[in-house]
Structure formats: C-alpha cells, structure tokens
Amino acid sequence: MMRLDSRQINVFRRDGFLTGLPLLSTEACTQFMDHTDRFTQHYPQDVHWAFDIKANLLFDWVYEIGVTPALLDVIEDLIGPDILLTNSIFRIKPPGSETRYGWHQDAARIQVEPPFILAYLAISEATSENGCLRVIPGSHVAVEPFRLISYACERKVARTVDVDESQAVDLILKQGEVALFHCNTVHGSGKNISSRPRFGLINDYTPAGARQSVGTGSGQLVRGRNSGGGFATEKIPVGAFTEDNILSRRSTLMRYPENVLMGPLPPGEQPSFADADLQLR
C-alpha cells in the first residue's frame, strides 16, 4: 500500500471514507486467524470480552497488526504524524449469523476533536452477503440525532435515526484490504446470510493532540509524540493474554472509563465492563 495521493485525501474529506486499500498478505491474515482460533479453543469463556473493548491491550499480535507501517502511513496522511491507537475490537460473524449493527456514528456520545479515524481490516473477505460494513457518504460532517439502546455489560449505544438507506454504500473488501472511515460517518452492517464467515478487526486511530468533549481518553502511542494532554498513554502488551495485560486493561478502563465505546459515565456510577476473574485462572 502506497501513501495516499491528494485525490484520495480529497475523496475521504468529501465522503468520509476510503475503501479497498491493499494492506495485509494472505499469510498475515491466516496467521491472525490462527491466533484467534487458538485463543478461542483455550479460553472460550473469555472470548466475549477479550475480543471487545481495547483488545490491543491484551494481545501482542493484535497490537502488532495495528502498527503495520503501511497502515500507519495512510493514517498519518489523514490525521498527522502524532498517532494514538485508542481501540481494537473484533467483529466476527459466523456463517448464518443473525448479528447486525444498526446505523450509528462512533463519536456521537463523546465528540473527539480533531476527529479520529477507524480502520476496518478485512481478515477475511467482506461481501454484501456476509454482512460487510455499509456507510452513508457525506454523513461525517455533523453528529446526527440518535437514540440510546441497551448493549452488553449494561452499556448504552447510540443509534442514528432517520437514515436514508438508499444512499448506503457497501464496503466490499478482499481479504487483506482495509477500509478507512471518519468517526462521524454513519455506518452499520447486516446479518451474514452466506456460508462463509466475515472476520474483521476495527482499529481506532486518534490524533495525539485531540481532546474529548467528555472525560479524558487514553491510547497507545504508535507514532510521533503525545504532548497534547488530552489522552493518557497506555502500555504496550508484552505477550498475549497475560495477567499483566489483563490488569493493564482493567486499570485503563477504570481510570479512563469515558471512551467513545463506553460513553459518558453517569454521575455517581462506577465503570462497567466485562473482565476476567483472575482467581479462577
């Protein structure tokens, strides 16, 4: 993958997304899936939370794919040289999965300025049939009206209302390609009606000088300097799913609970997120 040219940058600024950028080899995708399969076999009781918020704090192999130099190059073309990896989250839909994600903007509840970029890494191909991401071009220019619905771990998530689905574009990707989209681009996905899995990893990349409208964010410094003061610097994982990594994620989410996925913390409430019971390990 080469650096973005001026045309691609202008398209991103106009539409709020770029898609079909080649990034990972077939071998890299296969290796990532092998890591995932081994973890699923050894820790089936932990999959539901370990592949959720900030998986990049738990697994060195998740962090390593997130700092692929070619990927950071194009992120730098869009948000500048000082870059934080603020989240990695798995999005896996087995064949026939009914899982779908309603229309939403990731920064609806907590705005981030300058805005962050999301990168969808296609570990397997993403098609209309297996529930690929869909986006509304040009919807990133403002936060749209939304309603809150309940989600896992007593979280609330925003769902955009009055979306004109006739404008939606399917982000069809070959294995190893990446799609980039603005944090305010309205997006969602449908169920997997195919016989093939859809396996994606979504990374959030935030300018190190950014600030949140609510609370203090946190992220791993992956390029440049973090001198802005709006985001704390997170630890880089050593190994995979170690006790130190689990405690690091726990400490981060307790200290900086108001991230864009968990939303604002209601007055008087403690952070709520799924975690491991280390006493049972």
Tell me how many degrees the CA angle 171-177-182 measures, rounded to the nearest 5.
55
Residue 207 reports pLDDT greater than 90: yes
Q: Which of 194, 174, 180, 185 is nearest to 131 (CA)?
A: 194
Residues 274 and 170: their CA atoms lie apart, in Å, by 31
Percentage of the chain with pLDDT > 90? 91
Residue 280 reports pLDDT greater than 60: no
Residue 45 reports pLDDT greater than 80: yes
- Helix/strand number for the chain, H first, E second: 6, 15
Q: How many residues does the chain have?
A: 281
Amino acid at 263: G
Tell me how many degrees the CA angle 9-106-142 measures, rounded to the nearest 5.
65
Residues 98 and 91: their CA atoms lie apart, in Å, by 13
Predicted pLDDT at 156: 82
Phi–psi pair at 80, nearest 5 degrees: 100, 180
- In the beta sheet, which residues pair with residue 257? none
pLDDT digits (tens, 9 = 90+) for 19-43: 999 999 999 999 999 999 999 999 9
Structure tokens at 101: 């994600």
Contact between 121 and 204 under an 8 Å Cβ cutoff? The reply is no
DSSP 173: B
Predicted pLDDT at 242: 97
Phi–psi pair at 206, nearest 5 degrees: -120, 135
* Structural domains for the chain: 6-263 (2.60.120.620)
Instruction: State how far the alpha carbon of 175 is from the alpha carbons of 29, 82, 101, 118, 211, in Å.
Output: 7, 28, 21, 18, 34
pLDDT digits (tens, 9 = 90+) for 102-155: 999 999 999 999 999 999 999 999 999 999 999 999 999 999 999 999 876 567
Between 277 and 113, whose confidence is greater?
113
pLDDT digits (tens, 9 = 90+) for 73-106: 999 999 999 999 999 999 999 999 999 999 999 9
- Helix or strand (DSSP H, E) at 17: strand 17-22
Between 93 and 157, whose confidence is greater?
93
Residue 178 reports pLDDT greater than 70: yes
Coil, strand or helix at 237: coil
Structure tokens at 62: 């998740």
Contact between 195 and 95 under an 8 Å Cβ cutoff? The reply is yes
Coil, strand or helix at 61: helix
Percentage of the chain with pLDDT > 70? 98
The order of strands in the sheet holding 169-170 is: 101-104, 187-189, 133-135, 169-170
Band (228; pLDDT cuts 50, 70, 90): confident
Cβ contacts of 7 within 8 Å, gap of 6 or more: none
Indicate the pTM of the whole model: 0.96
Contact between 57 and 245 under an 8 Å Cβ cutoff? The reply is yes
Band (278; pLDDT cuts 50, 70, 90): confident
Band (273; pLDDT cuts 50, 70, 90): very high
